[in-house]
Amino acid sequence: MNHLDKLENKSIHILREAYANFKNLCMLWSVGKDSTVLLWLARKAFFGHVPFPLVHIDTHFKIPEMIEYRDRLALEWGLDMIYGENREALEKKLTYPDGNVSRLECCRLLKTEALKNTLNGKWPRYRLNHEKKCYEPDTNTEPFTGVIVGVRADEEGSRSKERYFSPRDKNSDWDIGDQPPEFWGQFKTDFAPGTHLRIHPLLDWTELDIWEYIKRENIPTVSLYYDRGDGKRYRSLGCWPCTFPVESNAKTVDDIIYELKSGKFANIAERSGRAQDKEDGGGLEELRKGGYM
């Protein structure tokens, strides 16, 4: 069994444990490389059928290719696709692109608040109708109490403090100092009623692992990850006003793997193109305590 086989087996084990132990489960899909690998693993874990909804928080400032990719794959793979949004902030133009709030405040409103109120069912959710190929208001307002997320420990400092099964309180607040230990592959899956769970099956994966797995499994990815002729590509995807490409001539998955192995980005953070990470001294921990992904 090689390195990727071991990672795959552990992630599938965590996915199955989550499905067996928690009701009202959903999986966040940002359409980036990590959450798409997570989606692929979920399809493998449950023999081609993902038995819980995929949830996407649409800020309405995502790069258009990302939304096209999301909806195309959702239809092709028969995914139960839901999206949520912060309609009030958008209508009042309380956004960074409109010049009315900072980048971090924009993230808090369009991502954190939208996610919190999408998961608890207090704000409208929109579900993909596969027959009509369009989104319709979701009549199910039941809260999701378990959320599977594709974060990796090596991606950014605050993510390295997560557990595989990470509890939040009823307000989605994260107490970093009060998390269960997870020794020797033993996971705590028994929590008090009212606990909101974040489940992280990809914590042990690195950026290189993700790309090598994408190559091995031939997983489709958004074209934005590749140089399309201007010597630039996105290494991490987000909203277009705050996400910038890196200098790179990588046009294929093999090129990206070579680039990572060569050490080209050894001293450059994976999220170096995400402007909001730098606005608060480089830390996202406060946003993540409130629910940011």
Q: How confident is the model at residue 176 (pLDDT cuts 50, 70, 90)?
A: confident
φ, ψ dihedrals at 25, nearest 5°: -95, 145
Percent of residues, the chain, with pLDDT higher than 70: 91
pLDDT value of residue 280: 56
pLDDT value of residue 179: 80
The H or E element that residue 168 is part of is strand 165-168
pLDDT digits (tens, 9 = 90+) for 240-277: 999 999 999 999 999 999 999 998 888 787 877 666 66
pLDDT digits (tens, 9 = 90+) for 63-85: 999 999 999 999 999 999 999 99
Nearest to 90 by CA among 59, 119, 122: 59
Give the CATH class of 1-203+276-288.
Answer: alpha beta
Classify the phi-psi angles of 11: left when phi > 0, otherwise alpha if psi is within -120 to 50, otherwise beta.
Answer: alpha
Q: How many CB atoms lie within 10 A of CB 76?
A: 9
pLDDT value of residue 92: 96
Three-state secondary structure of 242-256: CECCEECCCCCHHHH
pLDDT value of residue 1: 85
pTM for the full model? 0.89
Mean pLDDT in residue range 118-133: 96
pLDDT digits (tens, 9 = 90+) for 11-41: 999 999 999 988 899 999 999 999 999 999 9
Which has the minimum average pLDDT: 144-148, 183-187, 221-225, 259-263? 183-187
Opening angle at CA 284, ends 41 and 25, nearest 5: 35
Helix, strand and coil percent figures for the chain, each rounded to 5: 35, 15, 50
Query: CA dihedral in degrees (278, 168, 38, 237; nearest 10)?
Result: -20
pLDDT value of residue 95: 95
Task: Evaluate if residue 201 carries a pLDDT over 60.
Answer: yes
Which has the minimum average pLDDT: 14-28, 181-195, 232-246? 181-195
Say which residue, 153 or 279, is predicted with more confidence: 153
Mean pLDDT, the chain, integer: 89
pLDDT value of residue 195: 77
125-137: burial string, b at 16+ Cβ within 10 Å, e else? bbbbeeeeeebee
Domain limits of the chain? Answer: 1-203+276-288, 206-273
Mean pLDDT in residue range 163-191: 78
What distance in Å separates the CA atoms of residue 143 and residue 65, rounded to the nearest whole number? 30
Mean pLDDT in residue range 172-189: 77
Strand partners, 165: 199
Q: How far is CA 200 from CA 136, 139, 152, in A?
A: 29, 28, 8
Task: Evaluate if residue 288 carries a pLDDT over 60.
Answer: no
8 Å CB contact between 47 and 235: no
Opening angle at CA 71, ends 125 and 218, nearest 5: 130
